[in-house]
Amino acid sequence: MILPPNLRPQQHRCATKPAPLSPAMDSKTRSLMPPSSRRHRSLALAVLFALLTPIIHAQKTATTQFSGQAAYTLTKQLLDVAPKRFNGSPGHAKAEEFLKQHFAPEAAKGNFVADTFTATTPAGLQTMTNYIVKYPGKKDGIIVLVSHYETNYPLRDINFYGANDGAATSALLIEIGTILRAHPPEGYCIWLVFDDGEEAVKTWSNSDSLYGTRHLAAKWSQDGTLTKIKALLVADMIADKDLNIDYVENSTPWLLDLLKVAAKNTGHSASIFKYREAEEDDHLPFAARGVPVLDLIDAHYGPTTDAMPDGYHHTDKDTLDKISAHSLQISGDIFLEMIRLINQRP
Ligand SMILES: [Zn+2]
């Protein structure tokens, strides 16, 4: 059920426990799809810095800084234990265990939530699980960062590891979580979402894709969570060695504007907006319900050839050697700066 927003003052801002929330809203964002079955999601935003006080700012050094190398190492560790993470596979279970281990401190506080559901797919019913990690803040509202962690069911018979497509962005969020654990948000709450079933089970379509985020958006609409979300940032394929984060037209305009500012502030302007397109990605189920969204994705991954018209995307070439700590550094810097900028908005 849904309660009006102001029933409770301070403590229920974002929530670790079921909080009273207001009704969800509705709106829509168009998704113009790019050719084929690619979608991506990405971005995510970030965090922490949000409203650090001047005093804290003075000592904003290593511990509050994103480490691209740490994120890269986490990517490698995830790929080592769970190279193939398609629905129902042993690797998928190991990826889930990887997340549980990393967020044991949050779980102990009740801030690590498993959202398990049954998806109806072209391959029959499949059990899927989104994981949500919550870092309470001091302002009323939530910034959500999203990455999918599974790999494609249709690619289960090839050596598809999704180093860039799923693994690296999950690692990016884990690294942000490590920072937030030591330095809880001074501004809005930050929630990390590791979603399942982003990929198509057979062929990409509105009904065969984005299982996890469609489920979560509907759930958060019902319980009122959506009305508290200030921004939702999706991270997808943004560890590519040759990084350039796209201008994703079906993101929310003010967040695209903020991305430009964040890139400038962090010295990474050369790493954004080389390409412009709409994307089908995990931002769409939330955009359709009126949430401000930003899809941070680099959909141009590797050289394209007749044999590989989509570059390394969804091929056995999406491996650790195609990504870099440097690109993860750029993406991480931008995410943290986005969080800071979102917190500064009136
Ligand atoms: Zn993919």
Q: What distance in angstroms lies between residue 304's CA and the mean position of ligand 1's atoms?
A: 16
Q: What distance in angstroms lies between residue 19's CA and the mean position of ligand 1's atoms?
A: 34
Confidence at residue 9, expressed as pLDDT on a 0 to 100 scale = 34
Residues whose CB falls within 8 Å of the CB of residue 237, separated by 6 or more in sequence, listed in order: 40, 42, 164, 165, 168, 169, 297, 298, 299, 301, 313
Average pLDDT by stretches of 10, the chain with 346 residues: 35 43 33 41 42 41 79 98 97 98 98 98 97 98 98 96 98 98 97 98 97 98 98 98 98 98 98 98 98 98 95 97 98 98 95
Q: What distance in angstroms lies between residue 42's CA and the mean position of ligand 1's atoms?
A: 11
Q: What distance in angstroms lies between residue 250's CA and the mean position of ligand 1's atoms?
A: 18
Q: What distance in angstroms lies between residue 69's CA and the mean position of ligand 1's atoms?
A: 23
Confidence at residue 346, expressed as pLDDT on a 0 to 100 scale = 87
Q: What distance in angstroms lies between residue 297's CA and the mean position of ligand 1's atoms?
A: 11
- Distance in angstroms (rounded) separating the CA atoms of residues 147 and 131: 10
* Contact indicator for 230, 143 with CB cutoff of 8 Å: yes
CA distances from 187 to 68, 135, 136, 139, 342 (A): 24, 11, 9, 5, 9
Q: What distance in angstroms lies between residue 87's CA and the mean position of ligand 1's atoms?
A: 13
- Distance in angstroms (rounded) separating the CA atoms of residues 79 and 272: 27
Q: What distance in angstroms lies between residue 151's CA and the mean position of ligand 1's atoms?
A: 7
Burial of 124 (0-12, 13-18, 19+ CB in 10 A): exposed
The vertex-212 CA angle with 253 and 82, nearest 5°, equals: 110
- Distance in angstroms (rounded) separating the CA atoms of residues 2 and 23: 6
Q: What distance in angstroms lies between residue 293's CA and the mean position of ligand 1's atoms?
A: 19
Q: What distance in angstroms lies between residue 70's CA and the mean position of ligand 1's atoms?
A: 23
The reported pTM is 0.84
Q: What distance in angstroms lies between residue 237's CA and the mean position of ligand 1's atoms?
A: 8
Confidence at residue 14, expressed as pLDDT on a 0 to 100 scale = 60
Q: Domains (ranges, CATH) in the chain? A: 24-344 (3.40.630.10)
Q: How many residues does the chain have?
A: 346
Confidence at residue 247, expressed as pLDDT on a 0 to 100 scale = 98
- Distance in angstroms (rounded) separating the CA atoms of residues 96 and 77: 13
Q: What distance in angstroms lies between residue 22's CA and the mean position of ligand 1's atoms?
A: 34
Q: What distance in angstroms lies between residue 253's CA and the mean position of ligand 1's atoms?
A: 25
Q: What distance in angstroms lies between residue 210's CA and the mean position of ligand 1's atoms?
A: 11
Q: How many CB atoms are located within 10 Å of the residue 43 CB? A: 36
Confidence at residue 155, expressed as pLDDT on a 0 to 100 scale = 96
